[in-house]
Amino acid sequence: MRLEPIKNPTLARKLVPPAIALTTTIVIASLLATVAGADSFSVIGLILKGAFGSKFAILETLNRATPLIFTGLAVAVAFRAKFWNIGAEAQLYAGALMTVMLGTGVLPWPSFAILPLIIIASILAGAIVLLVPALLKTRLGVDEVVTTLLFNFIFLLFISMLLEGVLKDPMGMGWPKSARLIPEARLPRIVDGLRLHWGFGLAIFSAICIWIIQTRSTLGYEMRAVGLNKDAAAFAGIPVNVVIVKTALLSGGLAALAGFSEVAGLKGSLTLDLSPGFGYTGIIVAMLALLHPLGVIVAALFVAGIFVGADSMSRAADVPTYLADIMLATALLLMVLAIMLTRFRVVRD
Amino acid sequence: MHRSPRERLTALRWQTAAGRDKLNRIMDETGLRAPLDVTVGRLSVGERQRIEILKALYRDVRILVLDEPTAVCDDDLFATLRLAIAEGLSIIFISHKLHEVMAIADRVVVLRRGKMAGGVDTKDTDKNALAVMMMGTEATPPEVSPAKPGAPLLALSKVTTPDVGSVPGLKSVSLALKAGQIVGLAGVSGNGQAAMADVVGGLLNPNDGQVVLGSETVQKWTPRIAVQSGIARIPEDRQKTGTIADFDLIENAILERYKSPAFSKGGWMNWRKSRAFADGIIDKYDVRCPGSDTPIRLLSGGNMQKLILGRVLEADPQIILANQPVRGLDIGAVNYVHSQLLAARKRGASVLLISEDLDEIIRLSDVIHVIADGRLSPEFKRGEMTPAQLGLWMAGQGFEMDVAHAS
């Protein structure tokens, strides 16, 4: 058996495999739920209800999707130029760190300037964190997969050290947690009284900006050229290393916005459990989106929906919460397979 | 089917000794040599091709299909093939080069646009008759008129570049490219042609010596500066370095000059103008394609090369670096590329033609240099040397004498 690329996939070819993948996921999840003692038919309903069934559920899904859009974009941008940034987690924490450092009232700035300043500082922090692996790659040829991955652990321990030390909230009753942001440093809610904050708006805006940059700007053209064929790009005079460094700065900045938005929009302070692996899940989101910036929004909503829906289902049906993880893993594996099948057909030799 | 010891995948240890013996025996018998202990990725294209053929012979094949095998191979191959034929091997030899077909084949079949255009025994036909069969009409190579060389546009002065692995760099090479003249660089593959192309194309800065553009010695030398200085570069490998396979024709057409005000402004692309530029090339250079937004990987080699030609010639270049410009092209495309190079010469451009095809070099070049082991021969005027004499230089003879002469 081998795979054969399809030149002009039909609409059915594009839609059917993902639909089958989704259905299969739900069937598998239902079977597992039955094994765990729930009614298999109610499971599907409970998941959908948990993810999209009420205003609260929808807002929860959107909130959960917000950091995934940022990290998904960060990965999509980097992977497009074949710069393998596995360290969105570290850059996320860099953004979060900058947010609590500047947002806890240390700056004598007018209130309207605080948020923009924090945003810019967060982006810079994330960019600098990724600049180190980018320079190591372009100057010394060090593999960025290794450096960015290991940076995650280094940075998390660094944050841990700060939270046990200088950043520890004196009012925190001994918990490793930073002081709370002042109200001026908090991201306002989009609608009063609803939990959805402007971080989601910023995420959508970022996705559109990245899409425009990739399709319309010379930098986007360069990034795509370097990603598709580095030799031809270099021959044509595109400064490959400069483009890789610029890509890294952009990618790091985007991942940092995830940290900023989680702290300033949702949590209000920095703890070590700020991110349940948003940086890693961002890789999955980006792959599901085929690295398309607008696709990242859809993929992030899909992943967030499964997270939230399966979580809520497992509580409602009284089955272990691990079912949510299994379901997400199944969905992602099948979806990646399905996406491949939209572009290739299996031929029997 | 015969199984050689090397094919036992389940063995815990590589049984290389027997395989190596057999390969050595084949290499001795055929004279087809390739290094056995080097990663294939580091070999030249010619060596890789030899490996492919050795691989087939190693497996004791009875029918050997060779698809454009001599694009980069030397004449040793022909001798080898004749030996193999004598031993009972059947060969299907696919080539666009008529003289090769005439030299090796017993019977020729011509395909045109997917249809059989005819089949003849080689003893009953000649090159011209085959060309007519291939083209449907008589193929006429472009006329070459005498050149009127002008001032030097680009000169290398005692340029030295580092060796890359076993491939030599340039060794104190001096060369002048004059207006209205085609300079041919003859030589066996892997003797410094790549370094020469890289220096002229802006990809390589000499370790020692100068690149002189017009009357100025260049300080900073990059591909972009080379393009801006009016150097057109037709790369050796149009798929690997000349184009980006998944980019469409528009994106490929502006690859070298996307930063120029014609195609972008303030960091933003002007796709409308870029598309118009690509459409213009497609029209003017007769690039056969479904449209300018087709990925270039779907085009044939000839059409890809036409796009590259259009891309570089539309900038009215003063200096043209043509590195293997007709490798792998059919005879119609070959004549087209050659006529474009001659037209550029006529309007006063200087052309550096690098090719492993000695016929091509002799036919087009006003001045020929031979490169061997990174050293450059003195210049030979058109008609001054016979192919056999050039062949001796290509084999490295004459250089020592020349050095003695100069000192």
Q: Are B199 and B60 members of one domain?
A: no
Query: Any idea how long chain A is?
Result: 349
B203 neighbourhood in chain A, CB within 8 Å: 234-235
Residue B172 within any structural domain of the chain: yes
pLDDT in tens, B22-58: 888 888 887 777 888 888 877 776 777 778 888 888 8
B207 shares a domain with B124: no
Q: Return the closest-CA partner of residue A250 out of A188, A293, A307.
A: A293
Q: Could you read off the pLDDT of B228-245 as tens digits, one per residue?
A: 999 999 999 999 999 999
Closest partner CB to B242 (pick from A219, A228, A232)? A232
Of the listed ranges A194-208, A330-344, B359-373, the least confidently predicted one is A330-344
CATH code, domain with B10: 3.40.50.300
If one compares B323 and A110, the residue with the highest pLDDT of the two is B323
Determine, for residues A235 and B259 on separate chains, whether the beta-carbon distance falls below 8 Å.
no
List the single best residue of B237, B244, B259 to mutate versus A (max A Cβ within 10 A).
Answer: B244
Residue B50 and residue B185 in one domain: no
**Per-residue pLDDT, B1:** 42
pLDDT at B96: 65
Number of domains into which chain A is organized: 1
Q: Is A303 part of any domain?
A: no
What does the angle CA A290 – CA A291 – CA A293 come to, to the nearest 5 degrees?
Answer: 120
pLDDT band, residue B357 (cuts 50/70/90): confident
Specify if A21 maps to a domain: no
- The pLDDT of residue A230 is 95
Q: Where are the beta strands (DSSP E) in chain A?
A: 2-5, 344-347
In order, the DSSP letters of A73-121 are HHHHHHHHTT-----HHHHHHHHHHHHHHHHTTT----HHHHHHHHHHH
ipTM: 0.84
Whether A186 is covered by a domain: the verdict is yes
**B140 lies in some domain:** no
In a domain? residue A344: no
Residue B404 reports pLDDT greater than 80? no
- Structurally, chain B folds into a number of domains equal to 2
B120 in the same domain as B195? no
Domain of residue A260 covers: 67-290
Query: How many Cβ contacts (< 8 angstroms) between chains A and B?
Result: 61
- Which of B:198-217 have CB within 8 Å of A? 201-203
pLDDT at A194: 79
Please tell me the least confidently modeled range out of A35-39, A281-285, B8-12, B380-384: B8-12
Give the pLDDT confidence score for residue B3 in this predicted structure.
Answer: 46
Q: How confident is residue B105, by pLDDT bands cut at 50, 70 and 90?
A: confident
Counting Cα atoms < 13 Å in the Cβ hemisphere of A135 gives: 7
pTM of the model: 0.80
Q: Select the residue of A217, A224, A235 nearest B241 (Cβ to Cβ).
A: A235
Distance CA A275, CA A252 (A): 16
Q: What is the pLDDT of residue A123?
A: 97
Residue B293 forms contact with A (CB below 8 Å)? no
Residue of A nearest to B204 (CA): A235
How confident is the model at residue B407, as a pLDDT? 39
**Inter-residue contact B111 to B330 (CB < 8 Å):** no
B193 touches chain A (CB under 8 A): no
Domain co-membership, B109 together with B191: no
For residue A2, the model assigns a pLDDT of 78
Q: Flag whether residue B144 sits within 8 Å of chain A, measured between CB atoms.
A: no
- Tell me which chain B residues have a C-beta less than 8 angstroms from the C-beta of A234: 203, 223, 241
pLDDT given at position B75: 65
Q: Mapping DSSP to helix (H, G, I), strand (E, B) and coil, where does residue B213 land?
A: strand
- Give me the percent of chain B exceeding a pLDDT of 70: 89
pLDDT of residue B296: 93
Identify the domain containing residue B91 by its residue range.
Answer: 5-135
In chain A, what percentage of residues exceed pLDDT 70? 100
Q: How confident is the model at residue B405 (pLDDT cuts 50, 70, 90)?
A: very low
